[in-house]
Structure 1
Amino acid sequence: MIVLTQGSTLAITPRTTAIVPVHYAGVPCEMDTIMTIADQHHLKVVEDAAQGVMSTYKGRSLGSIGDLGAYSFHETKNVISGEGGALLVNNEDMTQRAEIVREKGTDRSRFFRGEVDKYTWQEPGSSFLPGELTAAFLWAQLEEAETITARRMVCWDLYHELLAPLEKMGVLRRPLIPEHCQHNAHMYYILLSPEVNRQKLLDNLKQHQIFPVFHYVPLHSSPAGQHYGRTHGTLKVTVGHAERLLRLPLWIGLNANQQESIVDAIVRAIPASRSSS
């Protein structure tokens, strides 16, 4: 699920300005390679660390490695404020513009620091700051971030243990976490083998009141992606993964008995979910 850096250089054109690695499921992309490619081609790196709060790459927090990093605190994430997120500005050349965009297009931040005698409109911006109540809710979540992550890791590790026999049977592939990466247990996904029909498996699990989801529709095949985007090659790996990916239920209140029931239901549903059945 990590960006295929071998193909990154092939997709670079004279119009390319940035590389956007997506740390899917909170598992870090291979950032050393990506940063080297970006440096060679004079490109910026914008980390999509929406799912990466509390994850690290070689000891560095996701979102803090590229020029910019983006976190999400949406209600579906590990640490939440309902809506909203954070922009990490790691390139000093971008700090002033980030402040202007945040401050409704004005240099109000410089005014508060005493750098200008008045603040004025500089360029397009908007009102991106959270309200005080939202910020207070988020602060309480951040104070518990280590506890939240630890509880999710217990669930993640149990799934990983319970699903090992199915991986040995060749019916699915479990997530692969590089040794130099620390993930945050944002989700537990499996990649089904081609002979397992995902929709049949979903239908079978729903009969047992188990509701896994598959995400996501590849951006290049979405209506907006087809209208605005450009691809290099067929992206057959992306398409193949999207057709086989399944995300299992995971939240901090999930207990071992529930997880064992979920995996047991998957085991029993696999034979009836094969494409030939």
Structure 2
Amino acid sequence: MIPFNKPYLSGKELDYIQDAVLNQGKLSGNGKYTNLCQNFFNTRYGFKKSLLTTSCTDALEMAAILADIKEGDEVIMPSYTFVSTSNAFVLRGAKIVFADSRADHPGIDEDAIESLITAKTKAIVPVHYAGVACDMEKIMNLANKYNLLVIEDAAQALDNDFTFSDGTKKALGAIGHLAAFSFHETKNIISGEGGLLAINDERFSRRAEIIWEKGTNRSEFFRGEVDKYGWVDMGSSFLPSEMIAAFLWAQLENIDRIQERRIAIWNQYETQLKDWALKNDVMLPFIPENSTNNAHMFYLVCKDVEQRTNLIQRLKDNKVSAVFHYLSLHKSAFYQDKHDGRQLKQTDRYSECLVRLPLYFELSNEQVKMITEVIVNG
């Protein structure tokens, strides 16, 4: 069976974990490997401050606290996303206002956002679906116009860029006020579970570190900035262990090699499926001109749910695991009676018609060829 995903080990993960356990004398986090990883993100992507977290979910929850989300505040985000995007703000008492997806891509319809803004709107949370950039220029212009915060859900978007109309290029996650990344085993760069909060607005830097350390100024104490530490704000145990950071560091050392292979697989899928897709009314992934491609995912959008069901079954019969993705959050059991009743047609289309193909480092060219032949010759 060709699995949908297979975690890739670069070869140094266990060596660095052993170093953390035996030599560093610190397992609880914020040690050697935490600092190596955080400095890497700041240097490579231009984040003003980076804090490793135990998950992207935790990074989003930190962002909601930093944004001072309160009961009755409204937060705009796509309905076609993972539940963590919404949960982080629901936990603070927010009302989630769901936007539809684009017709050409599952990401948020940037042109639909402004009509959803009210006096209660506090933040916009664009989700870079499949790692592909939302139009951050439009979104940041809206945020500036209405004095809103932008929190990028960049769970899938590590190592991807957005180009502004003046030619300026910025890494995804370095544009909004805050951003959250995932290193779950299904992502390009992994640590099993793990995440990152990127802070790009210096207003939030000191408080972020306090929230990260259970609401204490413990980090300042260890840097010698205060003579004792105590409880100074709300917070939680968001900081991962050094073993998670050590695993992640081994991955980051190999990021260029990992990305090169994933992009090659993505390109092979596109080349071998584009004619079939055109003939069968199937949509392939769309990469806007202002976005690069980090090859997080290769998906197909079938013409209807029947075509998708048959395709998934045909692949399964040939020992290939292909899966659909999110169910519309606005129709979920938890949120359907809280939604304002607007139809989100594109969101529902992706929920019913999108299928994801296997994509991982060790997937061979021969396996990709076999998968595409099963699809094309079906």
Give the TM-score normalised by structure 1: 0.92
The one of 237, 243, 246 equivalent to 2:346 is 237
Match in the other structure for 1:202:
312
| 1:14-163 mapped onto 2 (5 Å cutoff) | 14-58=119-163, 59-163=169-273
| 1:173-252 mapped onto 2 (5 Å cutoff) | 173-194=283-304, 197-226=307-336, 229-231=338-340, 233-252=342-361
Superposition deviation, residue 116 in structure 1: 3.2
Match in the other structure for 1:165:
275
SS in 2 for 1:225: coil
Superposition deviation, residue 146 in structure 1: 1.0
Per-residue CA deviation, residues 57-85 of structure 1 (Å, 9 max, x unaligned), is 12311111000010101111110111110
- Cα distance in structure 2, aligned partners of 1:68 and 1:195: 36
- Cα distance in structure 1, aligned partners of 2:263 and 2:152: 23
- Cα distance in structure 1, aligned partners of 2:340 and 2:128: 20
- Cα distance in structure 2, aligned partners of 1:211 and 1:114: 53
Contact 1:54–1:61, Cα closer than 8 Å, also in 2? yes
Match in the other structure for 2:36:
none
SS in 2 for 1:121: coil
SS in 2 for 1:198: helix
Residue ranges of structure 2 left out of the alignment (5+ in a row): 1-105, 164-168
| Number of residues of Structure 1 aligned to a counterpart in Structure 2 | 268
- Cα distance in structure 1, aligned partners of 2:272 and 2:306: 19
- The one-letter amino acid paired with 2:327 is V
- Cα distance in structure 1, aligned partners of 2:341 and 2:286: 26
SS in 2 for 1:47: strand
Superposition deviation, residue 114 in structure 1: 4.0
- Greater shift, 253-262 or 112-121, is seen at 112-121
- Cα distance in structure 1, aligned partners of 2:224 and 2:237: 22
- Cα distance in structure 1, aligned partners of 2:256 and 2:340: 39
- Cα distance in structure 1, aligned partners of 2:237 and 2:180: 17
CA RMSD of aligned residues (A): 1.6
Contact 2:305–2:352, Cα closer than 8 Å, also in 1? no
Contact 1:187–1:250, Cα closer than 8 Å, also in 2? yes
The one of 84, 103, 108 equivalent to 1:3 is 108
Q: What percentage of aligned pairs have identical amino acids?
A: 46
Contact 1:217–1:242, Cα closer than 8 Å, also in 2? yes
- Cα distance in structure 1, aligned partners of 2:141 and 2:277: 34
Residue ranges of structure 1 left out of the alignment (5+ in a row): 270-277
Note closer, same or farther for the CA distance 1:35–1:205 as it changes in structure 2 (3 Å cut): same
SS in 1 for 2:181: strand
- Cα distance in structure 1, aligned partners of 2:186 and 2:279: 32
| 1:265-276 mapped onto 2 (5 Å cutoff) | 265-269=374-378
SS in 2 for 1:182: coil
Give the TM-score normalised by structure 2: 0.68
Per-residue CA deviation, residues 171-228 of structure 1 (Å, 9 max, x unaligned), is 211111122311210110111123852112212221111110000111212223336x
